[in-house]
Amino acid sequence: MTDWHAKAAALQLDGRAFINGERIAAEQSFDKSSPIDGRLLGQVARCDAREAELAVQAARQAFNDRRWAGLPPAQRKRILIKFADLMLAHKEELALIETMDMGKPIRYSQAVDVNSAANCLRWYGEATDKVYDEIAPTPDNSLALITREPVGVVAAIVPWNYPMLMTSWKIAPALAAGNSVILKPSEKSPYSALRMAELAIEAGIPPGVLNVLPGYGHEIGQILGLHMDVDCLAFTGSTCVGKQIFSYAAQSNLKRVWTELGGKSANIVCADCPDLEQAVQSALGSMYFNQGESCNAPSRLFVERSIKDAFLARALELVPQYQVSDPLDEATVMGALVDAQQMRSVLGYIEAGRAEGAQLLAGGGQARSDSGGFYVEPTLFDGVRNDMKIAREEIFGPVLSLITFDDVADAVRQANDSSYGLQAAVWSGNLAKAHQIARALRAGTVHVNQYDDDDITVPFGGYKQSGNGRDKSLHAFDKYTELKTTWLHIGAALQGG
Nearer to ligand NAP, 178 or 225 (CB): 225
Three-class SS of residue 105? coil
Query: CA nearest 316: which of 404, 385, 390, 379?
Result: 379
Nearer to ligand NAP, 207 or 217 (CB): 217
Nearer to ligand NAP, 246 or 477 (CB): 246
261 lies in the binding site for ligand NAP (CB under 6 A): yes
Three-class SS of residue 212? strand
Selecting among 51, 273, 295, 304, the annotated active-site residue is 295
Three-class SS of residue 350? helix
Query: CA nearest 149: which of 171, 126, 133?
Result: 133
Interface with ligand NAP in residues 403-432 (CB under 6 A): 422
> Does 120 qualify as catalytic in the annotation?
no
263 lies in the binding site for ligand NAP (CB under 6 A): yes
Query: In the complex, what is the shortest distance from the CB of residue 54 to ligand NAP, in angstroms, rounded to a whole number?
Result: 19
Write the burial class of residue 72 (CB in 10 Å: 0-12 exposed, 13-18 middle, 19+ buried).
exposed
- The answer to whether residues 376 and 347 touch, using CB atoms and an 8 Å cutoff, is yes
- Given 218, 243, 305, 354, the residue binding ligand NAP (CB under 6 A): 218
252 lies in the binding site for ligand NAP (CB under 6 A): no
* 45 beta partners: 29
Query: CA nearest 298: which of 161, 440, 403, 159?
Result: 403
- The answer to whether residues 335 and 291 touch, using CB atoms and an 8 Å cutoff, is yes
Amino acid at 459: P
Nearer to ligand NAP, 382 or 394 (CB): 394
Nearer to ligand NAP, 76 or 227 (CB): 227
Query: CA nearest 159: which of 186, 182, 197?
Result: 186
> Does 295 qualify as catalytic in the annotation?
yes
Amino acid at 87: M
- Given 55, 273, 295, 334, the residue binding ligand NAP (CB under 6 A): 295
Residue nearest to ligand NAP (CB): 217
159 lies in the binding site for ligand NAP (CB under 6 A): yes
Three-class SS of residue 174? helix
Selecting among 51, 260, 304, 377, the annotated active-site residue is 260
Please identify, among the stretches 186-194, 305-313, 363-371, 435-443, the one whose residues bind ligand NAP according to the rule CB under 6 A.
186-194
Which residues in this chain contact ligand NAP in the complex, by CB under 6 A?
A: 157-161, 166, 184, 186-188, 216-218, 221-222, 225, 236-238, 241, 244, 260-263, 295, 394, 396, 422, 462, 466-467
Known catalytic residues are 260, 295
